[in-house]
């Protein structure tokens, strides 16, 4: 098996059968950006046809569609394709992870913590995000607690992601460009947005209990 | 530095300065059991003096006291004492982790995933458990969402704990006795009880929104 030298750090990382990226960084990012914009536009237009949905609710539906499909398709591929770095076909999702590993080589190295977090995210949180769109669209009583649960899962996963890296020396990036562009910037959305959503859900849930408290002093389990 | 051979698996785990357990297994477990019974008894009696608390609420307060103090004291010690396996003083908490490492040597080996999960558990979830006792005692509107958040964090942590072990070969126990007694049985409570509490909170929160939905169709953010 022919092995090319890989661009990842640490350089002694053993990746037998590694095949370099076929697609350029701009191609990879453009495909992801255009797909995301298409998904978000579709959900924004579709949600505008549902009566009595506020702009915040419609924005949330866009976020859940974007993040849910990212979890299921992009991260799902990583979880179930341990040998993506050997891909010779130029398959887009393999290229994504070959490229992203320049920001965090633990992906190519198949670090157990990374695979675990990505597995929970892809398999549990991904489908739950799509359920959240349905819950918001139809005004289900579980809408807030579901969104809260997913956001907390995303925050826990991101915390594990960053803290394990720090404990292991924080030296998995090919260069400081990839460190800040991929490892920091690409993950920042999954810290900021879930935090905002979790706080919003927390407040709404507390408000619902205060309303209920005005009727009967103590909520009853069904 | 004198190094004793350690009892952990894998046997080639390098633990320079390791000092064997001073306390017997029965002593370690008895101290934990007696302390836990004292805490639970105290909270049960104390909660009986609060008007209108149901038995379920009082049991929950006992659980949050037990699990919160375990997180803060026992797991907190592990997080901030990376060299517990070198302890020569027979200090109880160091002995706990020397003993528990027979069920999961990743503790002695200071695995990054373990330290991360234990860190989040000790630093965030521990104090949150004590807040949950106060929230139940005083009937705060955030009582259910707080208990839900902690339970979900415990479940996510336990999932990371078990899945990373499986991905890394599930071979960290000194014997099958320690595997089942420590690694499986001791952790089972933190799968079963948080699941039950999370389901109970989910149902109560949905019920609160149905009550609120009877008044105004859509909950408002404050």
In whole angstroms, give the CA distance from residue A145 to residue B122: 24
Residue holding tokens 């169709």? B217
Considering only CB atoms, which chain A residues are within 8 Å of B207? 141, 212, 219-222
Q: What is the dihedral of CA A9, A10, A16, A21, to 10 degrees?
A: 0
Q: Cβ of A113 and B116 within 8 Å?
A: yes
Provide the terminal-to-terminal Cα distance of chain A, rounded to the nearest Å. Answer: 62
Band of pLDDT at residue A213, cut at 50, 70 and 90: confident
pLDDT of residue A222: 45
Helix%, strand%, coil% for chain A, nearest 5: 70, 0, 30
Please work out, in degrees rounded to the nearest 5, the angle formed at the alpha carbon of residue B68 by the alpha carbons of B181 and A220.
105
Residues A35, A39, A44: CA angle, nearest 5 degrees: 145
B116 contacts A145? CB cut-off 8 A: no
Distance, in Å, from the CA atom of A13 to the CA atom of A106, rounded to the nearest integer, reads 10
Distance between CA atoms of residues B35 and B39, nearest Å: 6
Share of chain A above pLDDT 90, in %: 93
Instruction: Kindly state whether A163 is in contact with chain B, defined as any CB-CB distance less than 8 angstroms.
Output: yes
- pLDDT tens-digit readout, A72-102: 999 999 999 999 999 999 999 999 999 999 9
Task: Find the helix packing angle between A112-120 and A143-167, rounded to 10°.
Answer: 170
Closest CA to B104 of B28, B36, B31, B186: B186
Question: For position B208, what pLDDT does the model report?
Answer: 95
What H or E segment, with its residue span, contains residue B85? none
Q: What is the secondary structure of B110-152 as a DSSP string?
A: T-HHHHHHHHHIIIIIHHHHHHHHHHHHHT-TTHHHHHHHHHH
Q: What is the pLDDT of residue A220?
A: 47
For A182, half-sphere exposure in the C-beta direction (CA atoms, 13 angstrom radius) is 23
Task: Say whether residue B138 is in contact with chain A using an 8 A CB cutoff.
Answer: no
Q: What is the mean pLDDT of the segment spanning A16-43? A: 97
Cα distances from A69 to residues A40, A66, A72, A136, B140, in angstroms, run: 11, 6, 5, 17, 37
Question: Any residues with CB less than 8 A from the CB of A151 and at least 6 apart, and which?
Answer: A193, A194, A195, A197, A198, A201
Judge whether A95 and A19 are in contact, CB under 8 Å: no
For residue A215, pLDDT over 70 is answered with no
Give the Cα separation of A198 and A147 in Å (integer): 7
The helix or strand, by DSSP H or E, that contains position A195, with its residue range, turns out to be helix A186-215
Helix or strand run (H / E) with residue A5 = none
What confidence tens digit (pLDDT) does each residue in A156-177 have? Answer: 999 999 999 999 999 999 999 9
Q: What are phi and psi of B110, to 5 degrees?
A: 60, 45
Q: What is the mean pLDDT of residues A13-31?
A: 96
A56 token code pair: 């915040």
Confidence band of A205 (pLDDT split at 50, 70, 90): very high
Residue ranges in chain B whose pLDDT is less than 70:
1-3, 215-222
User: What is the rounded distance in angstroms from the CA atom of residue B41 to the CA atom of residue B18?
Assistant: 37
* Residues of A whose CB is below 8 A from B217: 52, 139
CA distance A200 to A192: 13
Contacts of A41 (CB under 8 A, 6+ apart): none
| pLDDT tens track for B85-112 | 999 999 999 999 999 999 999 999 999 9
Q: What is the mean pLDDT of chain A?
A: 95
Q: What are the C-alpha distances in Å from A95 to residues A20, A218, B109, B177?
A: 9, 54, 35, 45
pLDDT tops 90 at residue A1? no
**For residue B182, which phi and psi values (nearest 5 degrees)?**
-95, -60
The answer to whether the CB of A94 falls within 8 A of the CB of B142 is no
- Is A144 in contact with B52 (Cβ distance < 8 A)? no
According to DSSP, residue B91 is labeled -
Q: Do B139 and A218 touch (CB under 8 A)?
A: yes
Question: With an 8 Å Cβ cutoff, is A82 touching chain B?
Answer: no
Mean pLDDT of A16-32: 97
Contact B137, B53 (CB under 8 A): yes
In Å, what is the CA distance from B131 to each residue of A155, B68, B139, B142? 20, 9, 12, 10
ipTM of the complex: 0.94
**A8 CB-side CA count, 13 A:** 26
For the whole model, what pTM was predicted?
0.95
Return the pLDDT at B222: 45
SS3 content of chain B, % helix, strand, coil (to 5): 70, 0, 30
Q: Residue B77 has what pLDDT?
A: 98
When scoring B80, B200, B205 by the number of chain A Cβ atoms within 10 A, the one with the most, hence best to mutate, is B205
The whole-angstrom distance between residue B29's C-alpha and the CA centroid of its chain comes to: 15
Here the tokens at position A28 are 């990879």
């Amino acid at each position: 098996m022919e092995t090319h030298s890989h661009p990842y750090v640490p350089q002694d990382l053993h990746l037998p059968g590694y095949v370099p990226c076929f697609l350029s960084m701009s191609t990879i990012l453009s495909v992801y950006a255009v797909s995301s914009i298409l998904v978000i536009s579709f959900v924004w237009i579709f949600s505008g046809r549902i009566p009595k949905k506020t702009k915040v609710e419609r924005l949330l539906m866009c976020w859940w569609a974007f993040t849910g499909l990212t979890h299921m398709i992009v991260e799902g591929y990583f979880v179930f394709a341990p040998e993506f770095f050997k891909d010779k076909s130029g398959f887009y999702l393999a290229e994504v992870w070959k490229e992203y590993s320049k920001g965090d080589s633990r992906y190519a190295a198949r670090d157990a913590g990374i695979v675990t977090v990505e597995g929970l995210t892809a398999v549990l949180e991904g489908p739950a995000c799509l359920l959240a769109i349905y819950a918001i669209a139809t005004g289900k009583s579980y809408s807030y607690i579901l969104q809260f649960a997913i956001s907390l899962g995303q925050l826990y996963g991101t915390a594990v992601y960053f803290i394990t890296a720090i404990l292991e020396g924080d030296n998995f990036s090919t260069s400081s460009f990839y460190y800040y562009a991929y490892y920091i910037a690409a993950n920042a959305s999954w810290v900021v947005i879930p935090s905002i959503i979790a706080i919003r859900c927390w407040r709404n849930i507390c408000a619902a209990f205060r309303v209920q408290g005005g009727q009967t002093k103590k909520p009853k389990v069904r």
